[in-house]
Structure 1
Amino acid sequence: LVAEGRGEEARSVLDNLPPEERDAAPARGVRASIEFSEQALSTEEIAALGDRTDSEAQYQRALRQVADGQYDAGLEALLALMKQDRAYNDDAARKTLLQVFDALGADHPLTVTYRRKLFALLY
Structure 2
Amino acid sequence: MTNQIHVTAENIQQVLGQTSEESIVALSFYSAQSPECMEQARILDGLAQQYAQNLVVATLDCDQQQALASQLAQQIGLQALPTLVLLKGGAPVDMLPGPQSEQQIKEALQKHLPQPQDALLQQAKEALSADNLNDAFKYAKQAYEIDANNSRIKLVLADICIQIHRLDDARSLLDTIALADQDAYFNNIKAKLDQAEQAQDSPEIQALQQAVEQDPANLDTKVNLAVAFNDAGRKEEALETLFSVLIKDLNFGEAKKNYLDIIASLPEGDALAATYRRKLYSILY
CA distance 1:45–1:24, change in 2 (3 Å): same
Which of these residues, 245, 248, 251, is aligned with residue 81 of structure 1?
245
Aligned-residue CA RMSD (Å): 3.0
Helix, strand or coil for the counterpart of 2:130?
helix
Q: How does 1:50-69 map to 2 (within 5 A)?
A: 51-53=214-216, 54-69=218-233
Q: Deviations over 1:35-84 (max 9, x none)?
A: xxxxxx93365267361221101111122122222211211111110011
Answer yes or no: is 1:22 the counterpart of 2:186: no
Q: Structure 1, unaligned stretches of length 5 or more?
A: 1-16, 33-40
* 1:112 corresponding residue in structure 2: 274
Deviation at 1:30, TM superposition (A): 4.6
> Whose Rg is larger?
2
Q: Distance in 1 between matches of 2:133 and 2:206?
A: 33
Answer yes or no: is 1:42 the counterpart of 2:42: no
State TM-score, norm by structure 1. 0.62
- State the structure with bigger RCO (CA 8 A, min sep 6), 1 or 2: 1
Q: Distance in 2 between matches of 1:69 and 1:19?
A: 18
CA distance 1:94–1:30, change in 2 (3 Å): farther
CA distance 1:104–1:60, change in 2 (3 Å): same
Q: Deviations over 1:94-123 (max 9, x none)?
A: 111111111113411100111111111111
Q: Percent identity?
A: 20
* 2:259 corresponding residue in structure 1: 97
Letter in 1 for 2:263: F
Structure number having the greater helix percentage: 1
| Preserved CA contact (<8 Å) 1:106 1:112 | no
Helix, strand or coil for the counterpart of 1:105?
coil
Helix, strand or coil for the counterpart of 2:214?
coil
Q: Distance in 1 between matches of 2:244 and 2:227?
A: 13
Q: Distance in 2 between matches of 1:47 and 1:114?
A: 21
Deviation at 1:22, TM superposition (A): 2.2
**Segments of 4+ moved more than 6 angstroms:** 17-20
Structure number having the greater strand percentage: 2
Letter in 2 for 1:122: L
* 1:11 corresponding residue in structure 2: none
* 1:37 corresponding residue in structure 2: none
| Preserved CA contact (<8 Å) 2:209 2:225 | no
Helix, strand or coil for the counterpart of 1:76?
helix
Letter in 1 for 2:266: L
